[in-house]
Amino acid sequence: MKVIITDTGAYPGKAGLLDRVYRPGNDVHICCGCFECLKRADHTCIIDDEGKNIGEEIDKCDEIVIVSRSCYGCFSPFVKKVLERGLTSLGPDALVSHQIIDKKKVHLHLYGRKVLRSEKDLMDRTIQACFDPKRFDAIAFWYDDPWKIVRHKT
């Protein structure tokens, strides 16, 4: 199973029946910062929307695919909003309910015209902060146009 987070409205690869796709138009609200998800045994969010179970979906998936515009060295607002809702499963302090055997693959397809080297460097640091290197194997691919994105196999 894959968790696919895309800000383009479409995923340029193939999504399977069991894959979870988050795209603009999904009913995902902004994290309110209450940290109730950290107190709950199942780590679900108190906000009852399509992002309620994203932490659990990230825990269970084999791969995370992100398609995002580079916004001054950060993810697009939509992608950032979805990632923030997965707080319980991302980062070095994440509460993991199972033993990690293999790292999860994270494929980041980032795009933007005339992205500066300094923005790419900042995005590299953002990726390191978002995806704990002990638990995630994150690979970033850069494009100047989102419709040129192709599925990479590693």
Strands 136-143 and 63-69, bridge-based pairing: unpaired
pLDDT at 50: 93
Kindly list the domain boundaries of the chain, sorted by start residue: 2-148
Of residues 44 and 71, more confidently modeled: 71
Question: Among residues of the chain, what percentage have pLDDT more than 70?
Answer: 88
CA distance 30 to 77: 10
The kind and range of the H/E element at 129 are helix 117-130
E strands, 27-146, are 63-69, 104-111, 136-143
Looking at the domain 2-148, which fold is it? Rossmann fold (3.40.50)
Mean pLDDT of the chain: 85
| pLDDT tier, 154 (very low <50, low <70, confident <90, very high otherwise) | very low
pLDDT in tens, 65-121: 999 999 998 999 999 999 999 877 775 555 555 555 578 899 999 999 999 999 999
